[in-house]
Amino acid sequence: MASEVSMPKAAEDLKAQSKDRQLYGELELPFKHSYLHGWIYPPFIKEKHLQETKAFKLRESDVLIATFPKNGTTWTQKIIQNLHKAHGTGHMQQDKVKVLLDVTPWLENTPHDQVDAMTGPRYLKTHNSYDWVAYDPAVRCKYIYVARNPKDVCVSLYHHCKGFEVFEYDGPFEEFAGLFLEGKVESGDWWVHVKEFYQNKRDMDTLFLKYEDMHADGIAAVNKINDFCALPPLSEEQAAQVLDLSTFKKMKADPNSNYSWLDDVRKKDQAPFMRKGTVGDWANFFSREMSDKFDEKSRRMFGDVELGFCDVLKL
């Protein structure tokens, strides 16, 4: 199921209020984007990338880190790299690797001959929706899906959209939150994205993690990821070491994981990619009215599934 195609109310308001403002594409959004099969992507993702991704030749040893953007992708990628370091497998070796994304590439944005040439277990990042995620019923690979409180996702994605020059965006938070609510941001409707992976109608081999749980009990998250990836048993000491090497503070200071390799295409006056890494920052940005609208949508979309988000959403 893709998000609706009708002109969103936030976008209608936007158009009415800002006659001289540059709006982009068929959806007339205030940031540059691609609109493919009902889903919104960054402008550099084109139809051919989507088709190639869907037809991607999977292997049984593949693990896809599947997320809506800003839900904990990079943290999960780093935990996996550090697990291999702890086990001394020699896979994804940090001293030989320039950046994390080279060893856990973004499938929609990496030439597939490069991904085909990878050896050993491949860990691949993808933001595609459930409908478009690389999938082959004949190849039972694994998927790690990470979800985060949508209000924190919205704040993080807002800074992401404002931070990268390619989006050409500089709007106020309230406008962006309105578009997020209507599924008119990168990767579309967060609620649909999460719900479809959670319901997992094709019964893909999926580990479903929550960013807030990773914060609350990082050791449990590290162990879950280790065991799901069928890595050797992890000692308590190894788990603590992996968690320590994957903290926000260490990742932010490390050019391997802090996305400083993209500094040239980021606006200098905006927050860095490794921005805050906290739970609940939304309270610094949301009006009461917008917060209520998000809660209402969560109730409506998740009312019929046991997502276990109740604590997070305070429902």
Smallest distance from ligand PPS to CB 304, Å: 26
Query: Does 258 sit near ligand PPS (CB under 6 A)?
Result: no
- The candidate with the shortest Cα–Cα distance to 62, out of 122, 150, 138, is 122
What φ, ψ does residue 144 adopt, rounded to 5°? -110, 115
Smallest distance from ligand PPS to CB 121, Å: 20
Is 127 a catalytic site residue?
yes
What is the Cα–Cα distance from 87 to 313, expressed in whole angstroms? 36
Q: Which of 107, 133, 274, 307 binds ligand PPS (CB under 6 A)?
A: 274
From residue 44, give the alpha-carbon distance in Å to each of 6, 34, 40, 109: 23, 7, 11, 8
From residue 281, give the alpha-carbon distance in Å to each of 38, 67, 149, 154: 30, 20, 10, 10
Q: Whose structure tokens read 């050409």?
A: 168
Q: Which of 102, 131, 136, 281 binds ligand PPS (CB under 6 A)?
A: 281
Query: Does 104 sit near ligand PPS (CB under 6 A)?
Result: no
Query: How many chain residues bind ligand PPS (CB under 6 A)?
Result: 21
Q: Which of residues 140-179 bind ligand PPS (CB under 6 A)?
A: 152, 156, 159-160
Find the part of the chain contacting ligand PPS (CB under 6 A) among 167-175, 191-199, 242-250, 298-306: 242-250
Contacts of 84 (CB under 8 A, 6+ apart): 90, 91, 92, 93, 231
Residue number with CB closer to ligand PPS (160 or 195): 160
Residues tagged active-site = 127
Q: Which residues bind ligand PPS (CB under 6 A)?
A: 67, 69-75, 152, 156, 159-160, 246-248, 251, 274-277, 281
